[in-house]
Amino acid sequence: TKIAVLVSGRGSNLQSVIDNIESGYIRDAEIKVVISDVGDAYALERARKHGIPAVFTDPLSFENKPAFELEILKTLKEHNIDLILLAGYMRIVGKEIISAYPNRIINIHPALLPAFKGLHAQQQAFKYGVKVSGCTVHFVDEGMDTGPIIIQKCVPVLEDDTADTLAARILEQEHKIFPEAVKLFAEGKLKVEGRIVVHT
């Protein structure tokens, strides 16, 4: 499985995939390229440290979103990518990319979907006062955080939590289920039947 990882920031989920490939937990998979829409994203640094091509594609240098996405598609094609990971990529992926990679784009979201979609999900959950939250790995469709769910993991919200301590507890689980989903995909064990993802 030839993987591209799209990032915008610190890249700890990217790191968890790199580490789990290097350790042999994820087999028959290779990260061919990391693409960022933010020039100084630390994720790019992490990629370079592991000898992975790291590409900054600047959205501001394109006239519109389709043009920006076509450039990313070009990079994906160059590397013969068959799986795209969104690891803290802060943009909504548009039609151009989604239609080229149906059920081949996986996102990690820091809440139990369909609750708390969108930005700052941990803070949304904390402020809402839920007593459990967690994280979700899912295939990406044209909606925002709406695609078929692959794995979820829950964590408790504790009495003395802040949004930040909750986010840290969730992140720990993200670093487990994101690589687990990649492993299942690479082994051909995920079958999408409508909204339902069957683990075969």
Helix (H) / strand (E) element for 113: namely: none
**Beta-bridge partner residues of 84:** 4, 105
Residue 62's identity, in one-letter code, is F
Q: How far is the CB of 11 from ligand GRF (least distance, A)?
A: 5
- 10 or 50: CB nearest ligand GRF: 10
Q: How far is the CB of 178 from ligand GRF (least distance, A)?
A: 8
Return d(Cα 39, Cα 19) in angstroms, integer: 23
Question: Closest residue to ligand GRF, Cβ-based?
Answer: 88
Return d(Cα 170, Cα 62) in angstroms, integer: 35
- 70 or 144: CB nearest ligand GRF: 144
Token pair 């149906």 in the structure block, residue: 102
Longest CA–CA span in the chain (Å) reads: 50
79 classed as catalytic: no
- 14 or 29: CB nearest ligand GRF: 14
Q: How many H helices and E strands in the chain?
A: 6, 9
Contact footprint for ligand GRF (CB under 6 A): 9-13, 87-88, 108-110, 171, 174
Q: How far is the CB of 87 from ligand GRF (least distance, A)?
A: 5
> Could you say which of 79, 109, 120, 138 is catalytic?
109
Q: How far apart are the first and last CA of the chain?
A: 18
* Cβ contact 47:34 at 8 Å: yes
- 32 or 46: CB nearest ligand GRF: 46
Q: How far is the CB of 193 from ligand GRF (least distance, A)?
A: 25
Instruction: Note the residue count of the chain.
Output: 200
Active site residues: 109
